[in-house]
Amino acid sequence: MSALDNNAKEIAGDAGSDGGATSSPEINTKEQDKGPAGPVILFFIVGLFASLILGWIIFPKLLYSKKKQPIDFNHVMHMAEVEDGCESCHFFREDGTYSGVPKLDQCIDCHEEIQGDSPDEIKFVEEYVSKGREVPWLVYSRQPDCVFFSHVAHVKVAGMDCVTCHGHIGESESLKIYEENRITGYSRDIWGKSIGGFKKNTWDRMKMDDCAECHRKMTANIERTGVKTPTKRLIDHLVDVVSPGTSMSEKGSSVQTERGACFVCHK
């Protein structure tokens, strides 16, 4: 018999003697022998299920507030109009920085006048375009402030597809509800729809583990095939930082340092 069982017995005995004032000792002994197991297990199970329901079902409902985008947007329709795919609107600037969500400047060419009769289009032109106000889009993939992510390194250098991280948003006809984490203020899409953190596709989550997963895979590939290793890349990078102009970088984006390298990745 383990020490734990002994303790349990002692506790049970205590409970029995507490109740001694109202019930007879015989009945008490009987209950102690076989009775307690039922309710104890039942309560354990009730507690277990209640907390599981709380954690898996109620908690996510409490954690996220649902917000509608200021106006709706049809990616499919726009993709049909442009030639350059995603990069037509979500483009890279000359200095390699990524423009992100389009500003009015990009929309204004076509949307100076109302196009069609959808209420969202009318609202867009009247509320935003003609007043010169930027649309306060809720960005599903916005990372916390401290996260430095370079699109150019992934898309241009590594040749990754937008879909790998962002999924098939380009094929959507309307914008989904934005679920905002009440504690952090960021979108639910970062942690992923599944509160348990499970994912089927690469674009289901955008946490650091997901970055690491891909990076680990790529590193393993490179090491196996002997193509440019991370060490080699690091050395190249350091050479560029220590003596700018001697390696790949052209005139940098900082007037003072003339080092493009810093500002391409360390944004």
Partner 1 sequence: MKIDRRSFLSFLLGGAAGTALSPLPWKLTDDSSIWTQMWPWTPVPEDGEASYVNSSCTLCPGGCGITVRKIDDRAVKIEGMKRHPVNNGGLCSLGLSGLQLLYGPTRVKTPLKRVGKRGRGRWEKISWKDAVSEVAKTLGDLREKGQSHTVGFISGSDRGTVPRLFERFLTVYGSPNLIRTPSIIDSYELALHLMQGAQALPGFDFENANFILSFGSGIVDGWGSPVRMFRANSAWRDTGGKVIQIEPRLSNTAAKSDKWIPINPGTEAALALGIAHIIIKESLYDAEFINNYSEGFEDWKAFVLGEYGPDSVATITGIDSTTIIALARSFARASKPLAICGRGQGTTPGSLNECTAVHALNALVGNINKKGGVFAVAEPDYINWPEVEMDATAAAGMQKNRLDGAGSKKYPFSRYLLNRLPQAINSGKKYPLKALFVAGANPLYTMSDSKAVKKAFDKVPFIVSFSSYMDETAQNADLILPNHNYLERYEDIPTPAGMPQPVIGLSRPVVEPQFNTKHVGDVIILLAKAMGGTLSDAFAWDSYDACLKETMGYKWQVIIEKGFWSYPDFVAGPREESFDTVSGKFEFAPKETGSLKPFKPVKIEGDKTNYPLLLMPYDSIRLANGAMGDPPFVMKSVDDTVLKGTDVFIEINPKTAGEHGLREGQLAMLSTPVGQAKVKVHLFDGIMPGLVALPRGLGHTAYDEYLAGKGINVNELIGPVEDPVSGLDAAWGVRAKLAKA
How far is Cα 189 from Cα 207, in angstroms, rounded to an integer? 9
Stretch 87-106: interaction string toward partner 1, x if CB under 8 A: ------x-x-x-xx------
Q: Does 41 bind partner 1 (CB under 8 A)?
A: yes
Task: Check if the beta carbon of residue 260 is closer than 8 Å to that of residue 249.
Answer: yes
Does position 145 interact with partner 1 (CB under 8 A)? The reply is yes
Task: Determine which residue in the list 63, 138, 169, 214 makes contact with partner 1, applying CB under 8 A.
Answer: 63
Does residue 50 belong to the site contacting partner 1 (CB under 8 A)?
yes
Q: How far are the Cα atoms of 18, 76, 206, 226 from residue 82, in angstroms, in the given order?
A: 80, 10, 28, 39
Number of residues that bind partner 1 (CB under 8 A): 47
- 3-state SS, residue 56: helix
The closest of 162, 158, 155 to 227, measured between CA atoms, is: 158
Q: Which of 13, 25, 47, 245 binds partner 1 (CB under 8 A)?
A: 47
Name the DSSP class of 196.
T
| CB nearer partner 1, residue 144 or residue 226 | 144
Check binding of 39 to partner 1 (CB under 8 A): yes
Measured CA to CA, the distance from residue 203 to residue 222 in angstroms comes to 23
- Is 226 a binding residue for partner 1 by CB under 8 A? The answer is no
Token pair of 113, please? 């006048």
Q: Would you count residue 140 as binding partner 1 (CB under 8 A)?
A: no
Measured CA to CA, the distance from residue 121 to residue 131 in angstroms comes to 14
CB 203 within 8 A of CB 164: yes
Binds partner 1 (CB under 8 A): choice among 132, 144, 159, 226: 144
Question: Residue 6, interface with partner 1 (CB under 8 A)?
Answer: no
N-terminal to C-terminal alpha carbon distance within the chain? 62
Give the residue among 236, 235, 240, 239 at the shortest CA–CA distance from 252: 240
Q: Out of 15, 107, 122, 262, name the contact with partner 1 by CB under 8 A.
A: 15
| 45 touches partner 1 (CB under 8 A) | yes
Region of 107-115, 125-133, 140-148, 168-176 interacting with partner 1 (CB under 8 A): 140-148
Footprint on this chain of partner 1 (rule: CB under 8 A) = 11-12, 15, 19, 36, 39-52, 54-56, 59, 63, 93, 95, 97, 99-100, 144-146, 181, 183-186, 191, 195-197, 253-256, 263, 267
